[in-house]
Amino acid sequence: MFKLEKPQKECQIFDFKVGGQYGQNPPLLISSMFHNGDKVLESRKEGKWDKAKAEEYVKKQEELEKLTGIPAIVAMVANSAEEMARYVDWFTSISDRPFAIDMWVEKPRLEAAEYVAKKGLQDRLVYNSITPWDKDIPGQVAKLKELGIKHVIVQAYDVADPSPKGRLTSFNSIMESIPEGTFESILVDTSVMNLPAIAFSGVANKIVKEATGWPCGVASSNGTYMWKEARELFGKDGFAAMNAAGQGCSTLYWTDFIFYGPIVAAPKMFPAVVSGAVMAAAMAQYETGQLPANPNHPFYKFFNDFAEKLKSGGEQSMPVHD
């Protein structure tokens, strides 16, 4: 049910692997900073933000990454290359981790990538993203290759066919402008539209991975945070529970990376995704007899005794398959 027949690509970004066969690697978590409504952002126009609080959030995410074995990066949101340059300079002064730029408009996004390249940070950048709505995808791809950008996210969505299969159509169309070998990593964002549609994006993950082998993921936070009535229905704690459950469940849907929303939610998101990741690993073991090859997987960090019993064929191991 979960195992994919086509060989799967594992993308090496910094010191972690993204992608691969179902359950083998925990999903990469991508948080958001400097988005509209981010309380650390004091004035986007004047370039002011609470640097101490922002650094506290980054360090907390790094602490949770180390604790859980789940890799994580920060995606910084900006409207212009000049604004993004301020965030990049600040982030690289406090952390040696990879980071993503999150910009909707193609021109300033490319200008921001050029700034990153001039600083020699191509290895650390995850370019977010090449989209179906970009006006010059071939030109964008050529420029990114010229800059030496290695890791990109491609957003897959077909307005004419919003079904899971439409995501594959969209991705294949964009890939016509990306010659083989252009990038080391291509991560496919299968475009979540609302909370229940996280399931459709999960099906799209399976379809795209089976067809192409590239890692796929979801912005499950788009689904959970768009359900604005949930705060009124369930209150603050209820919303937090729904958010964690929605994003933890998305881990089970052939998901190699997750945009989990504001970084302030990290203490809730990491445990939720740990739950999904260890269940995915157990399901993979049930279907294939194989546990994750990744020694840093949360399955080993938190349930190593159980893992050893499964390896040894003890009483808690699953039935032998034909």
3-state secondary structure of 166: helix
pLDDT at 312 over 90: no
Give percent of the chain above pLDDT 70.
97
Q: Which two tokens stand for residue 229?
A: 């009535």
Q: What is the CATH number of the domain that holds 39?
A: 3.20.20.20
- Look at residue 107 in the predicted model and tell me its pLDDT: 98
| Residues 241-259: tens digit of each pLDDT | 999 999 999 999 999 999 9
Would you say the pTM of this structure is higher than 0.85? yes
Token duo for residue 300: 């080993």
Token output for 178: 């990306």
**Single-letter amino acid code for the residue at 86:** R
Q: How far is residue 74 CA from its own chain's centroid?
A: 10
The 3-state DSSP class for residue 16 equals strand
Question: Quick one: pLDDT at residue 1?
Answer: 86
Is residue 23 domain-resident?
yes
Dist CA 288 CA 185 (whole Å) = 26
Residue 317 lies in a domain: no
Of 238, 231, 227, the C-alpha closest to 193 is 227
Q: Please give the backbone phi and psi of residue 314, each rounded to the nearest 5 degrees, phi first.
A: -70, -175
CA distance 126 to 142: 16
26-73 pLDDT tens trace: 999 999 999 999 999 999 999 999 999 999 999 999 999 999 999 999
- CA–CA–CA angle 102, 106, 109 (5° rounding): 45
Q: Tell me the pLDDT tens digit for each residue of 213-226.
A: 999 999 999 999 99
Number of domains, the chain? 1
In a domain, 48, yes or no: yes
Supply 57's token pair. Answer: 């959030």
Structural domain boundaries, residue 283: 10-312
Nearest to 282, CA basis, from 260, 311, 244: 311
Residue 4 lies in a domain: no
Q: What is the DSSP string of 175-200?
A: HTTS-TTS-SEEEEE----SSTTHHH
3-state secondary structure of 269: helix
* 319 falls within a domain: no
| Tens digits of residue pLDDT in 91-127 | 999 999 999 999 999 999 999 999 999 999 999 999 9
What is the helix (H) or strand (E) element at residue 31, kind and residue range? strand 28-33
**Does residue 300 sit in helix, strand or coil?**
helix
Mean confidence (pLDDT) of the chain: 96
The conformation of residue 320, written as its DSSP 8-state character, comes to: P
Q: Looking at the domain assignment, is residue 5 inside a domain?
A: no
| pLDDT class of 282 with cuts at 50, 70, 90 | very high
* The pLDDT of residue 321 is above 80: no
Q: Which residues sit opposite 189 in a β-bridge? A: 155, 217
Element (H, E) at 93: helix 81-94
